[in-house]
Structure 1
Amino acid sequence: MRSIADILFTQGFGSRRQCLALIASGVVCVRGEVITDPDAFFETQDLTFEVAGVLRRYQDKILIALHKPAGYECSVKPSSHPSVLRLLPADFVTRGVQPVGRLDEDTTGLLLLTDDGELNHVLTHPKRHVPKTYEVCLAHDATPAFLAKLEEGVVLRDDPHPVHALKVSLLGAKTIEVVIDFGRYHVVKRLIAAAGNRCVGLKRTGFGAFRLPADLASGKWRVIDPKVIFAP
């Protein structure tokens, strides 16, 4: 059980004083009832509530799937382009969600964000080998020799040990799907270049067992269960 004031605070609706002001203004509802007592207690399991007409579900920790458009940086403090955090509601940002890994500014597709530091560590630690799936548009046709190099292994400039894709699928003459389980700076683009082609378009379509939903439009997000990342 937690007070509604504490619930709003932990869910990112501002400082404690701001949360008290929201309650006093009559914009907080639980099960259709306006709550004006900041000390009203509720069971948080399966709790849904509204703030200014926006429905939220109480979550101790949150995991978000965002369909990242081009032109956004995966940084809290971006240098030359807007942060992906601009695409999220303010309460999510206030509670401290962070990108799980990074996508380049010009890369689109599935980006996970969470305020669960332990989960973020699990999903990004090299020893975990969590697979990521990408759709790659190529400058030149994907020849059998090129595809073979991706699967057999190529050497990147900063590593003498060959690296390879877990799986490569041909989607079109100049479009392939690549699955990798390691991360490096510009790794997919460099992998493609080392195999003798050039990446002209890159979209992440999967993270672990989770695939970018077909109905999740560019720039939109949804809350997901971490279990879907690790599903068999």
Structure 2
Amino acid sequence: MRLDKHLHQCIGISRSQASQLIRAGRITINGVVIKSGAQHVSELDHILLDGDPFDAPGEKHHYFMLYKPQGYVCTNEDAHHPSITKLFDLPHANKLHSAGRLDVDTTGLVLVTNDGQWSHRVTAPRKQCDKTYRVWLAEPISPDTEEHFAKGILLKSESQPTRPAQLEIITATEALLTIHEGKYHQVKRMFAAVGNHVTQLHRERIGSLILDPTLTEGQYRELTPDEIQLF
């Protein structure tokens, strides 16, 4: 089967969207970046999207929320840090992947699944899925930070400012920040742009789904049917 057709069937995206992923170098087969949708693939090939596997047709789907601890990465392969999949005591754990990522030193809510189509809905830019982070800063938050974030911040190496974000100041060095996109290291870069430094970062919410307060670091639970339908 052609690679673009395989992506279309497994992830539920259009052929043109599949071609865009391939041309962007986001697909690897057996460790090699593939740039042609005409590449033939078989069930023996190890195919990754952004370093993560995705599900095959007919596979039973699983959905979890994880309280990610520090020191773990949200990719399935990393030479220096363990994957979050190592936290799952399940026979199918090697087939799981995260729907969106957190940095190795960031804690909090991560959605984990083997349903590639579902995770694509969670992370698709057009969905503009809100994410709320609890942030601890090295310096007191300046009085105009809330206004700057509400207007949008032009980050280093970016051509467009961030979308308007909502900052709720808790103490002089602690705040809740809600963003509506997922740029690389966005929260840290936003505070760096206003002259501050994030010392600790914790994600509390994705969309309307809040991290279960009964979970402790490294623990997970299955999502309910209603929670799955939120995305």
Same fold (TM over 0.5): yes
Aligned-partner Cα distance in 1 for 2:228–2:188: 24
Question: Helix, strand or coil for the counterpart of 2:132?
Answer: strand
Question: Helix, strand or coil for the counterpart of 1:91?
Answer: coil
The one-character-per-residue Cα deviations of 1:71-114 (angstroms, maximum 9, x if unpaired) are: 111111112111111100132414x1111111110000111111
Say whether the 8 Å CA contact 1:165–1:178 is kept in structure 2.
no
Please tell me the residue identity of whatever aligns with 2:216: A
Question: Helix, strand or coil for the counterpart of 1:144?
Answer: coil
* RMSD, aligned CA: 1.9
Question: Helix, strand or coil for the counterpart of 1:127?
Answer: helix
Unaligned runs of 5+ in 2: 1-58
Say whether the 8 Å CA contact 2:146–2:166 is kept in structure 1.
no
Unaligned runs of 5+ in 1: 1-58
Aligned-partner Cα distance in 2 for 1:154–1:144: 15
Query: 2:147 maps to what in 1?
Result: 148
Aligned-partner Cα distance in 2 for 1:182–1:174: 23
User: How many residues are treated as equivalent by the alignment?
Assistant: 173
Say whether the 8 Å CA contact 1:133–1:180 is kept in structure 2.
yes
CA displacement at 1:165 relative to structure 2: 4.3
Question: Helix, strand or coil for the counterpart of 1:64?
Answer: strand
Please tell me the residue identity of whatever aligns with 2:61: K
Aligned-partner Cα distance in 2 for 1:208–1:63: 16
The TM-score with structure 2 as length reference comes to 0.70
Question: Helix, strand or coil for the counterpart of 2:120?
Answer: helix
The TM-score with structure 1 as length reference comes to 0.70
Query: 2:77 maps to what in 1?
Result: 77
CA displacement at 1:162 relative to structure 2: 1.4
The one-character-per-residue Cα deviations of 1:174-224 (angstroms, maximum 9, x if unpaired) are: 001011111121111001111221111000111110111111101100001
Aligned-partner Cα distance in 1 for 2:140–2:163: 19
Say whether the 8 Å CA contact 1:67–1:216 is kept in structure 2.
yes
* Structural mapping, 1:110-189, within 5 Å: 110-189=109-188
The runs of 4+ residues in structure 1 deviating greater than 4 Å are: 229-232
Query: 1:28 maps to what in 2?
Result: none
Question: Helix, strand or coil for the counterpart of 1:189?
Answer: helix
Which is greater in Rg?
A: 1
The 3 A distance-change label for structure 1 pair 207 and 92 is farther
The one-character-per-residue Cα deviations of 1:30-64 (angstroms, maximum 9, x if unpaired) are: xxxxxxxxxxxxxxxxxxxxxxxxxxxxx931111
Aligned-partner Cα distance in 1 for 2:168–2:225: 27
Aligned-partner Cα distance in 2 for 1:61–1:165: 35
